[in-house]
Amino acid sequence: MGTVRRSRMHRESRGKCLVLTERDLAIFRALGQYRYLRSTYLHAFAGGASENRFKERLGDLFHEGFIDRPNEQWEFAGRLNAPVVYQLGRRGREGLRMREEATDDRRVILTRGPQRQFAHALMTCDVVASFELSARASSSVSFVPVSAILKKAPRRSVEDRHPLMLGPVNGNSVIPDALFALRYESGERPSYRFIALEVDRGTMPVTRSHRGQTSVTAKLDAYEKLICAQAHKRELGIPNLLVLLLTTSESRKGRIIMAASSKLRDTRPFLFGQFIGLPPSRGTSSLCRYDRIRNPSIALDRA
């Protein structure tokens, strides 16, 4: 008689005594760094020849309490047929701690506890993970996580309430969805691009008729003023800042670019692209070419 298939949504322990492998620890590290990762991204980070065997191992780790499946994912239509989203569980955190490994080498900084905007948080994790995986596959680009940036920041700590906030300056302030850097090994000294990420799921209005109401262009306008005031240098200690806005469709991207072109004066720091929500694979990379307004597009795979 075959083994009864266990629930995707609820933990059903069979009392297995799991011996943790190096690949298990790689899974725990990635979840400690990102908070949320889909099974496809975990496979890209931790490796393994068989994706089906990898999913079976994730199932064992979940049902035995090493990793969790956040309940918020089941609220979305079609989720039962989509890659499962995971986060680090209590036993996984203990496994890392027993090996004296830090679990606060974060790539994405999210508030603790359940996320009110789970889909937005998940897309942020997807995007940053895609950049890290793309950099791993590159011979000339390295990924620098936000935790490393904040360690050198003069006025910020990863434990601050809003460690990524820029401002307020003349009433303007923003909190990027994520922050990371790309290091380029070219010439005698490496060069860096620091990137403030904004993910757009199409839920915020592109423009508003009344000043002071939230909109995509209002946030970009605040970025422009803060970058002009050198807030990124003063508060984060970084020499440059690009703002990368990624949305879910070409048509939405086009509407944002059109609206921003009449709002922004200095458009050089702003990059725009579409994110398809899949891990980088052979022939694809997040270190691709991104659109700008009134300026040539930029390819992030070279300095």
**Spatial contact of 87 and 36, defined as CB atoms under 8 Å apart:** yes
Specify the pLDDT at position 107.
Answer: 96
Specify the pLDDT at position 1.
Answer: 44
Range of the domain at 113: 106-303
Specify the pLDDT at position 104.
Answer: 66
Q: How far apart are CA 277 and CA 226, in angstroms?
A: 30
Last residue of a domain, one of 65, 80, 105: 105
Q: What mean pLDDT is reported for the chain?
A: 91
Specify the pLDDT at position 77.
Answer: 62
Residues 123, 94: one domain? Answer: no
Residues 100, 195: one domain? Answer: no
Sequence-distant (6+) residues with CB within 8 A of 188 are: none
Residues 65, 148: one domain? Answer: no
Q: How far apart are CA 241 and CA 231, in angstroms?
A: 10
Cα dist from 258 to 61, 262, 276, 282, whole Å: 47, 7, 21, 32
Specify the pLDDT at position 296.
Answer: 94
Token digits for 191?
């060069």
Backbone angles phi, psi at 97, to 5 degrees: -65, -40
Nearest to 267 by CA among 242, 249, 288: 242
* Number of compact structural domains in the chain: 2
Last residue of a domain, one of 105, 123, 140: 105
Q: What is the CATH number of the domain that holds 2?
A: 1.10.10.10
Nearest to 122 by CA among 169, 74, 167: 74
Low-confidence ranges of the chain (pLDDT < 70): 1-4, 77-80, 101-104, 113-114, 282-283
The single residue listed with the structure tokens 């990762």 is 37
Which DSSP symbol is given to 182?
E
Token digits for 219?
């946030």
Token digits for 209?
């008729």
Residues 96, 125: one domain? Answer: no
Question: How many CB atoms neighbour CB 220 within 10 A?
Answer: 23
Specify the pLDDT at position 173.
Answer: 93
Residues 221, 128: one domain? Answer: yes
